[in-house]
Structure 1
Amino acid sequence: MSVETASEDDNNDPNASPLKHFGREVQLSRERWGKSRAELGKEANCGYSLVAKIETGERVPPRSFAEACDRTFPHSDGRFERLWALVIRYAYPPWFRPYVALEQKANLVRMFNPTLLPGLVQTRAYAEAVLRTGRPTNLQDLVTVRLDRQHILTREEDPARLWLVMNEEALRNSVGDAAVMRAQLNHLRDIAETPRHRVQIVPASKRNVLVVSPFGMLSFVDDADVVHVDGFPRGYVLADPEDVAQARDAYDLLTAMAAPPDETAELINSIVKDCYS
């Protein structure tokens, strides 16, 4: 996944991209209200360097930065959060934007992952380790937009429910060092113990050959389910009723194959102790 930025010829044009426009608006407001970059960084819980890079359109701002701008600059009335929504939309590659837009509207997200934990439950360190393997030049931007997708699970209004099924291999597949994996699996255990979510593990002894690639389904209050199939070099969305029915049947079989949700926390604790202590 790559983050779209302006071309080199447009580096000085504040309207060359949503990212450049956001940065210019931050700079104008900061200077208008007599704030230094260091002062804004303190308000946004970040450093001078990140503020400078956001203002020049070199870094994608996290949601918390836009919220801090609206708190800091008088009469903003949510303007920076509205601008940020456009920035984050265009931070995804064109082929992924339709899925993200659907994911943000979903009230239930069901996912199956055979070898890695999905982005919706990744910690920052785990996401960095996964994304670093592709040797991107914009690693921190990729991490920022990936972690922002998790907002659907914690938003105040109608947070989405998550039902996650994974092969046990995904928990034993070491990403980063032992500390990264401990923190990641502890985070996964917390999600598994959150009442509205479900996390199930297919034990290694079951030899899951039913599905070998990651996929997921999105459900909505007033619309039909859709399926997202992850793949290389890009994923795709399926809305045909026959495809959705086939995916739903496969997911039902996976949940039947997996250990019950109330055994997940104990299994995670056992893997942490065996592999990452």
Structure 2
Amino acid sequence: MTMVDGLAPDRSIWDYIAVELRRQREVKGLSGNKLAGHIGCDRSYVSRVENGRMHLSQAYARKIDEVLDTRFLWLVELAEASDHGDWFTGLVQHEERATHHRMWEALIVPGLLQTEDYARAALTVGLVDDVEKALERRMTRQRAVWEMPNPPYVSAIINWYVLEQPVGDARVMREQLAWLLELGGRPNVTVRVLERSAGANVGQDGSFTLLAVDGRDVAFADAPERGRLITNPPDVQRFQVRYDRIANIAANRSDSRILMERAMESYT
């Protein structure tokens, strides 16, 4: 399958829908004309959607799901709920519904586990035009998760580097590490550390999050400017395997608390 010039499925849900529709149609051996006939639309409509010139409607997405056994209606609803059809906003929608969060963070405390001051310090050194607005969005994301009537189970693994790299001043780091210890003491939260002695590992490929939503897993891979949401089961499975491999060599819960306590004492 040839990628349509100008489409960026790693950044836009709508572009992903366009590319995935063409892929699924070709996998099923259907021409654009045949698919159009099955769902009751003009051939030009299918072409415009696949070229990114028109957004797929919910009505046609539902019909396509019936014909191709896909989940385009879910993707369209996700894109329409997003600010601009971007994957990050899609991630936020998933976070609010997930029953289990598994996260690996190589460089910084995961956003959902950050204190307000740590988050502000992290955002200040990034490419953010309005730090306070971005900070409020991050705090809103946290409240949506932690203030649920039945909060999700959260399994976080952080790299040793996160403990040793100051973000903000010593007070900010002490408070952040104290917060990690407090969160890690909750029955639904586990915070573990991957020690320096673990050496080279698959976590060096980058940070990511796995979310269990509606009985299935999705993955979100971080990137310097914009991450991407992964929904294709074989691709998600690769992130599940990566997480398991990192978890297998991370310190246990008790030893991780000791490592965080020692790190907190170093920020005087």
Q: Normalising to structure 2: TM-score of the pair?
A: 0.66
Match of 1:276 in 2: 267
The aligned amino acid for 1:216 is T
> Do the aligned residues in 1 keep the contact of 2:105 with 2:157 (CA within 8 Å)?
yes
Match of 2:237 in 1: 245
For structure 2, the 5+ residue unaligned runs are 1-80
> Do the aligned residues in 2 keep the contact of 1:152 with 1:160 (CA within 8 Å)?
no
Shift in CA distance, 95/245, structure 1 to aligned 2, threshold 3 Å: closer
Residue by residue over 1:165-221, the C-alpha shift from the partner in whole angstroms, topping out at 9 and shown as x without a partner, is 01111111110110110000000111111111111101111124312211010002x
1:121 aligns with 2:113: yes
Deviation at 1:147, TM superposition (A): 1.3
> Do the aligned residues in 1 keep the contact of 2:218 with 2:229 (CA within 8 Å)?
yes
1:197 aligns with 2:189: yes
For structure 1, the 5+ residue unaligned runs are 1-87
1:236 aligns with 2:266: no
Q: Pick from 150, 168, 174: which aligns with 2:166?
A: 174
SS in 1 for 2:203: coil
**Distance of 1:252 and 1:134 partners within structure 2:** 30
Deviation at 1:155, TM superposition (A): 1.9
Please list, as runs of the form range in 1=range in 2, the aligned pairs for 1:19-98 lying within 5 A after superposition: 90=83, 94-98=86-90
Deviation at 1:159, TM superposition (A): 1.1
Calculate the aligned-residue CA RMSD, in Å: 1.9
Please list, as runs of the form range in 1=range in 2, the aligned pairs for 1:98-177 lying within 5 A after superposition: 98-134=90-126, 136-177=128-169
SS in 1 for 2:96: helix
Deviation at 1:137, TM superposition (A): 3.8
Match of 1:215 in 2: 208
Deviation at 1:101, TM superposition (A): 0.6
Match of 1:59 in 2: none
> Do the aligned residues in 1 keep the contact of 2:116 with 2:135 (CA within 8 Å)?
yes
**Distance of 1:89 and 1:145 partners within structure 2:** 14
The aligned amino acid for 1:126 is Y
Shift in CA distance, 240/205, structure 1 to aligned 2, threshold 3 Å: same
**Distance of 2:150 and 2:120 partners within structure 1:** 29
> Do the aligned residues in 2 keep the contact of 1:128 with 1:139 (CA within 8 Å)?
yes
**Distance of 1:93 and 1:133 partners within structure 2:** 26
Q: Normalising to structure 1: TM-score of the pair?
A: 0.64
Match of 1:45 in 2: none
Residue by residue over 1:91-116, the C-alpha shift from the partner in whole angstroms, topping out at 9 and shown as x without a partner, is x8844211111111101111000111
Match of 2:11 in 1: none
Count the aligned residue pairs: 187
SS in 2 for 1:175: coil
Residue by residue over 1:94-151, the C-alpha shift from the partner in whole angstroms, topping out at 9 and shown as x without a partner, is 4421111111110111100011101101111111111001363421111011111112
SS in 2 for 1:105: coil
**Distance of 1:93 and 1:207 partners within structure 2:** 38
